[in-house]
Chain A
Amino acid sequence: AQSVAQPEDQVNVAEGNPLTVKCTYSVSGNPYLFWYVQYPNRGLQFLLKYITGDNLVKGSYGFEAEFNKSQTSFHLKKPSALVSDSALYFCAVRDSNKAAGNKLTFGGGTRVLVKP
């Protein structure tokens, strides 16, 4: 079975400081990894994904994430956080093995609060 862990329920950071949201995963095959963001009373918006290739993935709004196979991690980062980055962030994984089914499994979410 595939799973995702986001160890922090909330991350607090001052505006202008670096932001990191942690994610670790477990799949039997190779992972497809995703980050989504959710603003209040909204659906999920795609930020970035790792399918294959370069371990450092760049996405929307200045976010990036680094795939680390040995640590089974896919941490989300932003060099300089903005107050508008305050939201709920979800990491998700899908097993690239088709036999596992095309199902996306989410972590519990991390709330990011960026203070002015």
Chain B
Amino acid sequence: DAGITQSPRHKVTETGTPVTLRCHQTENHRYMYWYRQDPGHGLRLIHYSYGVKDTDKGEVSDGYSVSRSKTEDFLLTLESATSSQTSVYFCAISDGTGGGLGGYTFGSGTRLTVV
């Protein structure tokens, strides 16, 4: 999606290893989010950021940490990957107004498999 990119697009990792996913935006939006998508659960918020170095937990934050040292980058780290963290991860950005084209713009997703 325009203005937001996620990397990598696909990753396979072993249980117990650390993994970092990257979200990069060029829209200069204040808010950035990490969601995970699992069948039957829709998208669930992991962590979000409301500014550089300002982050907060979402509803499924256990086992995840985030960092935002620059406006444009929001990193999601799985400190010690487990099979339950196999999922599709989406990053989203927002200018905070609820307006704009859709209020929130989503990246294309990262498919993570923990074996």
Contacts and interface: CB of A to CB of B under 8 A. Distances in A.
Interface in A1-58: 4, 6, 9, 32, 34, 36, 42-44, 46, 49, 51
Contacts of A32: 98, 103
Contacts of A102: 31, 48, 50, 94, 96, 98
A101 to B, nearest CB: 7
A51 B40 contact: no
A103 interface: yes
Contacts of A34: 102-104
Size band of the interface chain B makes with A:
20 to 34
B58 A103 contact: yes
B95 to A, nearest CB: 9
Interface string B29-51: 00101010000111111001010
B33 A104 contact: yes
Contact of A90 (B33, B42, B56, B103): B42
Contact of B106 (A43, A94, A109): A43
Size band of the interface chain A makes with B:
20 to 34
A106 B101 contact: no
Given A90-B43, A109-B42, A43 B90 contact: yes
A102 to B, nearest CB: 5
A103 to B, nearest CB: 6
A96 interface: yes
7 contacts: A4-B42, A34-B103, A34-B104, A43-B106, A94-B103, A102-B31, A104-B33
